[in-house]
């Protein structure tokens, strides 16, 4: 009776996990519709049901800044912003998106964003940015990146992405949490001790079943290997006797470990351990690694996750993460609680995007371009009236704090727009980006990575306002350009364009002209203070 009961529960949770995507399959819009059209169709439909008139489209200055921050990881230079704003080409937005998505900035920015995303707030996770740079540069597809990162690729990548696993092996519970949260949108860490509080069919079997895919993995001199002999594991549930552990995917499908024959398993494990230790001592000299098991558990996990009947879990998790990144709020919130008891705001839209992502071979570049080419993405972040619409309606543009990398690069570029020249040839642009990154990197530690529902800490604001070294650099490289301007109005114009990527408003002209006049006895210090005020403004600190 117990075995039958467990099997029923496993089948049930698998059904629940996949139900969100498949429930409306027959009702989905045609597969050949453009991604932006489908997004706007579903978002507008929900707005009409809620009887909410959305915010108008953002002006060109706001949109060009938003696109550069989201796709290139930096603000536009004054010339880039002016070129977009002054253009009368009705296709200018589509052209800019295509240009940015094909740029080396897109590669570097995505490497930063995915490195933070993959870390999943795990302080021991470490960085895999060198691999991500290589992967995004070659346009590697997300399913291949998944195999690379969990050490399940047929051919090892020279950038060693499997360090994603090796650095987490000392805490396999955290590893299990990260794998389920990051790649499948379901944090199962609470099921380590008890049944999931929001999905009663998600029991401890799932946590320990996912953990078991990594039970035989070990780090040998920086190489991710799998043991040939593994002691059968069990776990003690909250109620009842200890139970054996089987490798189990999140939909309840299990895998039997292909154990290698051993007359005495305990002795075989002991001898294998001794052999590993001996080869480790000699590794520096002969580079010989221990023999691995013919059964590769991590490969089995990847194969299971990408099977046609399971891949919705994998694909929709990334769709929702990217939606959260560009819209400031997920189609499902929280982004690591994607299950049928939490279907989210637009189930049909999530299902269509998931189907489309799979159909186009998990192409991240295509999905991102589609997400930022919609009316919904381009809405103004200013809302006039009360109350403000619920965030899941996407009626108004989101206001998002800049990440450390975005802020540092934008800070340096605002102080010296010449860091990014107009020459867009590959060699020149790569050289300019390297110079910008080198200048920005020391500043990244000044601010914290933004977290959902966590406000910017007071000490961070104080640090940006009062740090002597930082204050000394503010305006230092922009000052010569401002001093060459013909008059104060021109100085104000150049400063606002450099920092805020737009022309000054009338009130700003009045404010800054008054200030510069009062400080005319110290003109250089006054100009620097004006730049400081702009760089410390909320408008610069946020993507809006």
Per residue in 149-207, pLDDT (tens digit) is 999 998 989 999 999 999 999 999 999 999 999 999 998 876 665 555 555 566 788 88
Handedness of CA 12, 17, 23, 26 (dihedral sign): negative
Span 334-360, mean pLDDT?
A: 94
Query: What is the model's pLDDT at position 196?
Result: 52
- pLDDT band, very low/low/confident/very high, at 520 (cuts 50, 70, 90): very high
Residue 541, pLDDT above cutoff 80: yes
**26, pLDDT greater than 70:** no
Q: What is the mean pLDDT of residues 284-304?
A: 94
Please write the tens of the pLDDT for every residue from 415-474. Answer: 999 888 777 777 888 888 988 998 899 888 888 888 766 666 777 777 777 777 777 777
- CA-nearest of 332, 326, 307 to 181 is 332
> What are the residue boundaries of the structural domains of the chain, listed by start?
2-57+308-398, 107-305, 401-543
pLDDT over threshold 80, residue 277: yes
Q: Report the 10 Å Cβ neighbour count for 346.
A: 21
User: Could you tell me if 132 and 115 are in contact, meaning their C-beta atoms sit under 8 angstroms apart?
Assistant: yes
Q: What is the mean pLDDT of residues 27-44?
A: 96
Please write the tens of the pLDDT for every residue from 232-248: 888 877 777 888 899 99
* Average pLDDT of the residues in 285-307: 94
Residue with tokens 């490497």: 111
Nearest to 199 by CA among 351, 316, 340, 333: 340
More confident residue, 251 or 369: 369
- The H or E element containing residue 235 is strand 234-235
Instruction: Enter the pTM of the model.
Output: 0.92
pLDDT band at residue 17 under the 50/70/90 scheme = low
pLDDT given at position 10? 44
Nearest to 204 by CA among 256, 258, 246: 246
Per-residue pLDDT band at 519 (split at 50, 70, 90): very high
Return mean pLDDT, the chain: 90
Q: Which two structure tokens, joined as six digits, stand for 31?
A: 């597969």
Q: Residue 452: what pLDDT?
A: 65
Residue 214: pLDDT band with limits 50, 70, 90:
very high
The arithmetic mean of pLDDT across residues 532-536, rounded, is 91
Q: Read off the pLDDT of residues 368-378 as tens digits, 9 standing for 90 and up.
A: 999 999 999 99
Q: Round to whole Å and give the CA distance between 162 and 220.
A: 12
pLDDT at 341: 82
Angle, helices 129-137 vs 142-149, to 10°: value is 150
pLDDT in tens, 457-515: 777 777 777 777 777 777 788 999 999 998 999 999 999 999 999 999 999 999 999 99
Is residue 516 within 8 Å of 488, Cβ to Cβ? yes
Please tell me the predicted confidence (pLDDT) of residue 306.
97
The string of DSSP letters for 442-495 reads GGGGGSPPPBTTBPPPHHHHHHHHH-HHHHHHTTTTTHHHHHHSSSHHHHHHHH
pLDDT band at 38 (very low <50, low <70, confident <90, very high): very high
The pLDDT, as a whole number, for residue 184 is 96
Under a CB-based contact definition with an 8 Å cutoff, are residues 100 and 73 in contact?
A: no
pLDDT in the model for residue 77: 95
Q: What is the DSSP letter of 30?
A: P
Give the tens place of pLDDT for each residue, 106-147.
Answer: 999 999 999 999 999 898 888 999 999 999 999 999 999 999
Query: What's the confidence (pLDDT) of residue 195?
Result: 55
């Amino acid at each position: 009776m117990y075995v039958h009961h467990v099997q029923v529960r496993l089948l049930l949770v698998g059904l629940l996990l996949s139900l969100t995507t498949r429930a409306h399959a027959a009702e989905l819009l045609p597969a050949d519709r453009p991604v932006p059209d489908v997004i706007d169709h579903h978002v507008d439909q929900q707005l009409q049901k809620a009887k909410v008139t959305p915010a108008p489209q953002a002006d060109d200055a706001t949109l060009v800044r938003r696109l550069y921050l989201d796709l290139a990881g930096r603000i536009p230079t004054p010339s880039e912003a002016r070129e977009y704003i002054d253009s009368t080409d009705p296709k200018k937005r589509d052209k800019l998106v295509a240009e940015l998505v094909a740029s080396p900035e897109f590669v570097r920015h995505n490497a930063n964003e995915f490195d933070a995303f993959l870390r999943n707030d795990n302080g021991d996770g470490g960085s895999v940015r060198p691999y991500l740079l290589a992967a995004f540069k070659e346009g590697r597809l997300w399913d291949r990146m998944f195999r690379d990162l969990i050490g399940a690729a047929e051919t090892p990548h020279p950038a060693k992405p499997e360090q994603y696993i090796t650095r987490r092996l000392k805490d396999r519970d955290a590893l299990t949490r990260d794998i389920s949260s990051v790649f499948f949108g379901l944090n199962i860490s609470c099921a380590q001790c008890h049944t999931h509080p929001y999905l009663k069919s998600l029991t401890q079997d799932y946590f320990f079943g996912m953990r078991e895919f990594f039970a035989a993995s070990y780090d040998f001199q920086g190489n991710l290997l799998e043991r040939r002999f593994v002691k059968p594991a069990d776990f003690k549930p909250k109620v009842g006797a200890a139970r054996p552990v089987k490798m189990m995917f999140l939909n309840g499908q299990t895998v039997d470990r292909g154990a290698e024959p051993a007359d005495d398993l305990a002795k075989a494990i002991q001898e294998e351990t001794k052999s590993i230790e001996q080869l480790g001592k000699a590794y520096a000299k002969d580079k010989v690694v221990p023999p691995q098991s013919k059964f590769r558990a991590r490969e089995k996990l990847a194969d299971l996750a990408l099977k046609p009947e399971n891949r919705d879990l994998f694909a929709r998790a990334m769709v929702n993460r990217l939606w959260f990144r560009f819209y400031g709020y997920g189609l499902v919130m929280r982004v690591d609680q994607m299950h049928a008891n939490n279907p989210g705001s637009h189930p049909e839209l999530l299902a269509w995007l998931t189907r489309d992502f799979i159909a186009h071979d998990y192409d991240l570049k295509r999905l991102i371009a589609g997400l930022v080419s919609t009316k919904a993405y381009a809405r103004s972040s200013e809302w006039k009236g009360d109350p403000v619409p619920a965030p899941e309606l996407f009626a108004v543009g989101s206001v998002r704090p800049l990440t450390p990398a975005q802020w540092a690069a934008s800070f340096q570029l605002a102080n010296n727009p010449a860091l990014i020249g107009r020459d867009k040839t590959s060699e020149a642009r790569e050289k300019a980006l390297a110079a910008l990154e080198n200048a920005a990197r020391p500043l990244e530690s000044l601010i914290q990575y933004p977290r959902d529902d966590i406000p910017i800490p007071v000490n961070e604001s104080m640090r940006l306002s009062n740090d002597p070294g930082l204050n000394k650099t503010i305006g230092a490289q922009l000052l010569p350009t401002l001093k060459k301007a013909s008059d104060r109005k021109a100085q104000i114009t150049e400063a606002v364009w450099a920092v805020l990527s737009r022309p000054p408003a009338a009130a700003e002209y009045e404010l800054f002209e008054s200030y510069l006049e009062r400080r005319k006895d110290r003109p250089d210090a006054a100009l620097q203070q004006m730049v400081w005020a702009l760089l410390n403004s909320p408008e610069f600190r946020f993507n809006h």
